[in-house]
């Protein structure tokens, strides 16, 4: 199909598709004339994933890395997650102290070497942000965070499909990244429900 | 103190402080000469909150709304959360169908009218993003999301301090917004731990 048809089918404007092509998020179509290229089903599918990533607030550079992880997965299933996480995490800064983060994530079953440095640094950075705002998470709330998040992660990883490598890659890479906005959105609803229960409605 | 001292104490460059002043995130100091102003402890405290918000990836416009919610809280405790959430959520688009989101959040104890439209629209948007990427959350994983998120929200709201209105406002507004990066970071660690448990380390 031509770019105009790809645009119509996907609901993505032609100019945006051209932007994705320039940014190497979407593979070039097959040239059929000096000014025209032809696109197929794989482009339409890829386009829907690009849209979902970008609309989840993931940057163009991060999306490119997530797509690379989908296209060229590592041979070992466990490394998939590392690739998905690395795609959306900033590089580790030299000077971040992960001591407090390490003590905290022991409550998630973490042991030295179980997870990527960038992921641990993410916890350290989040703790630093809270501290610099002078915000303390009460101890009993933190312990519910740890136990609930552990339940979530276990259910997610138990659900990794094993019938095909492709299905596993999609599940891990997209699930890890694209589910984040859903979890935050569900938390907001649950907070308002709990607040209405405790303080009564408006 | 002068702006240079405020900069030294907070570790925030003078140019960045001036940017926050121009953007009305930070209140002007008291003019002591045509070219100088004096800042006090309240400026230093505010500056640390601004840094935490901005470093959590919250935009300048959103941070301004979070700060406004801190400065001018609504009289009813339940409305605090609505203000905090509204500060970081986009306005509701006219055309978003919240039917599927409503059915889902019934699992969180939601009933019509229990939460703001923007918060519900956030769930609908997140579900739309997953669908457009062709990603299905398995039913049993979704049910763990709902039960775990409900536990989290209940613990958070149970922890709202009641000894002073100011403490309650800080807890609800900053806790709701600033804890998000921590929860996502903890989930990444927990996923890698669960993945190592299921698939073995790298």
CA distance A189 to chain B (A): 6
Per-residue pLDDT in tens (0 to 9) along chain B, 202 residues: 999 999 998 889 999 999 999 999 999 999 999 888 999 988 998 898 888 888 777 888 888 888 888 888 777 777 878 878 887 777 776 688 899 999 999 999 999 988 888 899 999 999 988 988 888 899 999 999 999 999 999 999 999 887 777 788 888 888 888 899 999 999 999 999 998 888 876 4
Provide CB contacts within 8 A for B114, sequence distance 6+: A192, A193, A196, A201
CB-based contact B127 A182, cutoff 8 Å: yes
Nearest to A152 among B85, B138, B187 (CB): B187
Check CB contact under 8 Å for B135 and A53.
no
Q: What is the ipTM of this complex?
A: 0.84
Considering the domain A1-55, what is its CATH architecture? Orthogonal Bundle (1.10)
Instruction: Tell me the nearest-neighbour CA distance from A186 into chain B, angstroms.
Output: 6
Q: Give A152's contacts in chain B (Cβ within 8 Å).
A: 144-145, 148, 187, 190
Q: Which of B130, B157, B178 sits opposite A178 (nearest CB)?
A: B130
From A48, A123, A138, residue closest to B189, measured CB to CB: A123
The phi, psi pair for A27, rounded to 5°, reads -65, 145
B-chain CB neighbours of A149 within 8 Å are 148, 183, 186-187, 190
In chain A, the residue whose alpha carbon lies closest to the alpha carbon of B121 is A185
Nearest-angstrom CA–CA distance, A72 and B179: 33
Residue A201: pLDDT band (50, 70, 90) is low
- The 3-state DSSP class for residue B75 equals coil
Q: What is the CA radius of gyration of chain B?
A: 21
| Residue in B85, B104, B199 closest to A77 by CB | B199
Extract the tokens encoding A48: 């829907």
Q: What's the DSSP call for residue B103?
A: H
> Which one of A67, A75, A90, A149 would you mutate to disrupt binding with B, by most B Cβ within 10 Å of its Cβ?
A149
Q: What is the pLDDT of residue A188?
A: 93
Return the number of CB contacts < 8 Å for A and B.
Answer: 310
Taking an 8 Å cut-off on Cβ atoms, the answer to whether A188 and B115 are in contact is yes
Provide, as residue numbers in chain B, all residues whose Cβ is less than 8 Å from the Cβ of A181. 122, 125-126, 129
For A145, the token pair is: 């965070």
**Stated pTM of the model:** 0.83
| Exposure b/e, B108-146, CB count within 10 A at least 16 = b | bbbeeebbbebbbbbbbbbbbbbebbebebbeebbebbb
Contacts of A188 (CB under 8 A, 6+ apart): B85, B89, B115, B119, B122, B176
pLDDT on residue B43: 92
In chain B, whose CA is at the least distance from the CA of A108? B190
Domain ranges of chain B: 56-199
Of A52, A108, A202, the CB nearest to B189: A108
Q: Which residue has the higher pLDDT, A27 or A93?
A: A27
């Amino acid at each position: 199909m031509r770019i105009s048809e790809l645009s119509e089918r996907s609901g993505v404007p032609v100019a945006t598709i051209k932007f994705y092509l320039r940014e190497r998020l979407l593979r070039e179509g097959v040239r059929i004339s000096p000014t025209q290229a032809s696109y197929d089903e794989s482009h339409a599918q890829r386009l829907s994933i690009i849209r979902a990533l970008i609309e989840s607030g993931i940057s163009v550079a991060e999306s490119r890395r997530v797509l690379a992880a989908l296209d060229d997965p590592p041979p070992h299933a466990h490394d998939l997650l590392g690739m998905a996480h690395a795609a959306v995490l900033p590089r580790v800064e030299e000077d971040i102290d992960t001591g407090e983060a390490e003590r905290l994530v022991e409550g998630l079953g973490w042991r030295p070497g179980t997870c990527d440095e960038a992921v641990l640094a993410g916890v350290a950075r989040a703790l630093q942000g809270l501290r610099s705002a002078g915000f303390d998470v009460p101890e009993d709330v933190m312990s519910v965070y740890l136990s609930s998040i552990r339940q979530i992660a276990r259910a997610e990883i138990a659900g990794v499909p094993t019938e095909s490598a492709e299905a596993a890659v999609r599940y891990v890479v997209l699930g890890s990244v694209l589910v984040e906005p859903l979890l935050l959105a569900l938390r907001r609803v649950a907070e308002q429900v709990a607040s209405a229960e405790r303080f009564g409605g408006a």
